[in-house]
Each structure stands twice: as structure tokens, then as C-alpha cells.
Amino acid sequence: MVDYRLELVVIPVTDVDRAVEFYGTTLGWSVDFNQIVSPELRFVQVTPPGSACSIAFGTGLLPEGTAPYPGLQVVTPDADTAHDDLAARGVAVGPVHDLAWGRFVWFDDPDGNHWAVQQLPKR
């Protein structure tokens, strides 16, 4: 069997600079790359702290009009701490929800990409 690692997910945004501000400044994620390749192509890559998978967005990466993603998810060791951090950064974040498969908080980016933050249940 071949190993596969998910290392990059491309998300749609309508305003690249606003997305850089949200992910890089508001969320505090590392802006690993931000390059205007040509008038038709700009590539931005950000990585959540501790993640092996990065998020990319920009101009010319997805077909125009691509709908926001409804199901992006990151995992954290503590949903309450994540909730408090997001709220302190000015992110509109919902309350922590306790479910059988973990504890969750949710937020949307300015383009409507929907993020779940999960604390895994004890196994």
C-alpha cells in the first residue's frame, strides 16, 4: 500500500488580501507563501499552528464562482481553549458543543468557508 499524506487544501476566496488578513493576522496562522506569479495567478499558503496540512487560496487557483467549503476541520487538544483564543482574536465563534464524537466549536471565514474545531474524545 502507498502512503498518502494530505498536505494542502485549496479554498475559494473572493478577496485575497482580506483572506491573508483573516488567516494570517486574525487567526495567527503562518503565512508560508504569498506570491503574485502573474496578473492571473496569485498563490497564498497558510498553515495552522501544529498542522501538517496547509491551506492555499489566491487568484486563478479554482474556477471563478467556486462555492465556499462547508466542511473544513482542524483538531485541537482543548476545545475550550480554542474557543477562547478565537473569541479573543475577534472571530465570531459559536459555543463549545459536546457530542459523542468530540467537543466542537465552529466559525466561518469572511468568504463563508465553514470551519469545525474538534477536540477528539478520549479513546
pLDDT tens-digit map of 17-35: 999 999 999 999 999 999 9
Q: How many domains does the chain have?
A: 2
Judgement on whether residues 122 and 90 belong to the same structural domain of the protein: yes
What is the reported pLDDT for 61? Answer: 96
- Domain of residue 46: give its range: 1-61
What is the reported pLDDT for 114? Answer: 97
Judgement on whether residues 27 and 9 belong to the same structural domain of the protein: yes
> What is the 3-class SS of the chain, one letter each residue?
CCCCCCCEEECCCCCHHHHHHHHHHHCCCEEEEEEEEECCEEEEEEECCCCCCEEEEEECCCCCCCCCCCCEEEECCCHHHHHHHHHHCCCCECCCEEECCEEEEEEECCCCCEEEEEECCCC
**In this structure, what CATH number is given to the domain that contains residue 78?**
3.10.180.10
Q: What is the mean pLDDT of the chain?
A: 96
Judgement on whether residues 23 and 74 belong to the same structural domain of the protein: no
Give the pLDDT mean for 37-60: 97
